[in-house]
Amino acid sequence: MPWYQDFFGEDYMRFHLCGEQGLEERTAPQCDFVVGELGLQPGARVLDLCCGQGRHSIELARRGFRVTGLDLSEYLLDIARQRARDADVHVELVRRDMRDLPWEGEFDAIVNLFTSFGYLESDEEDQRVLDAACVALRPGGRLLIDHKNREATSSALGTNPRNWYEHDGHVILEQHEWDVLRARITMARTIIAPDGSRRETGFTLRIYAHSEIMSMLGRAGLAWHRTYGGWDGSDYRASSRGMIVVASKPE
């Protein structure tokens, strides 16, 4: 079974996201950036591709956009549904593989956030995601991808490949490996419960270079506009922590 089919469950919410300090507080300013950079007009239709627990989908819906959130994890979609009800906003939530988008020319914008690109088994399968996104966008619609910067990521993993921490009575051990030939991170996580029992989880993630993303966008029929090094709107550099790429579907 591919890792992404069962990774995004209770342990993901309980242990993986616990290390993301200020995650919820970052949501509104990130949506500010999305709205401004994509030029979203009131009532625009937005697809949050790999929406997870609905952080950005719900915030965008609060601002009056018509939002569809798509994810493969029913567990995270259930959380998103409850959060949308609590926020008294409407978000269409769809369980579906991100390669298999049923829409054609329907969205003003598609966002793929929190490093949700590169999950799949090969570059060819990741290409299918961008191909499907291009079809789902209306002419002139825009795509924003929030990805890691390969140079900075490989450097950080080289100096700190192992990590452990305690959370909610559990001890979590993590081992990261960087495959320089395949440009993939592999993370193996052991969760030790208070009773001493253990369970294993993990993921593998393809980290694309900027030039590779550019080529993939072109093959999908999308035109590149700009790349940022972070949510602060800084220029993209080799030292940038992230890589935020904006492209559009030609008119």
| Residue 86, H or E segment | helix 74-87
| CB neighbourhood size of 249 (10 A) | 22
Dist CA 138 CA 86 (whole Å): 31
Q: What is the CATH number of the domain that holds 162?
A: 2.20.25.570
Q: In the listed set 190, 205, 220, which residue is the last one of a domain according to the structure?
A: 205
Q: What is the pLDDT of residues 37-52, one digit of tens each?
A: 999 999 999 999 999 9
Tell whether 9 and 114 lie within a shared domain.
yes
- Residues 92, 177 within the same domain: no
> Region 118-140: what's the mean pLDDT?
98
CA separation for the pair 184, 122 (Å, rounded): 11
- Number of folded domains that form the chain: 2
pLDDT band, very low/low/confident/very high, at 158 (cuts 50, 70, 90): confident
Domain match, 197 and 216 both = no
Instruction: Render pLDDT for 212-222 as a digit per residue (tens, 0 to 9).
Output: 999 999 999 99
Question: Both 20 and 115 in a single domain?
Answer: yes
What local confidence, expressed as pLDDT, does residue 135 receive?
Answer: 98
Question: Would you say the pTM of this structure is higher than 0.85?
Answer: yes
Q: Considering the chain, what is the average pLDDT of its residues? A: 96
Q: In which residue are the tokens 């993990």 written?
A: 202
Q: Each residue of 8-39: b (16+ CB within 10 Å) or e? A: beebbbebbeeeeeeeeeebeebbebbbebbe
Tell me the CATH number at 141.
Answer: 3.40.50.150
Once rounded to an integer, what is the mean pLDDT over residues 106-129?
98
Kind and range of the H or E run holding 78: helix 74-87
Q: How far is CA 230 from CA 48, 62, 192, in A?
A: 19, 24, 34
Mean pLDDT check: name the lowest of 21-30, 52-61, 62-71, 190-199. Answer: 21-30
Together in a domain, 157 and 219: no
139 & 174 share domain: no
Q: d(Cα 79, Cα 166) in Å, to the nearest integer? A: 24
Whether residue 126 contacts residue 215, with contact meaning beta carbons closer than 8 Å, is answered with no
pLDDT given at position 18: 80
- pLDDT tens track for 162-179: 999 999 999 999 999 999
Domain boundary among 171, 186, 205: 205
102 and 79 part of one domain: yes
Residues 74 and 189 occupy one common structural domain = no
Do 59 and 179 fall within a single domain? no
Report the share of the chain in percent with pLDDT over 70: 100
Same domain, 30 and 58: yes
pLDDT at 20: 78
**177 and 219 in one domain?**
no
Counting DSSP H helices and E strands in the chain, the numbers are 7, 11
What domain range includes position 158? 152-205
Please check whether residues 94 and 184 belong to one and the same domain.
no
pLDDT reported for residue 22: 85
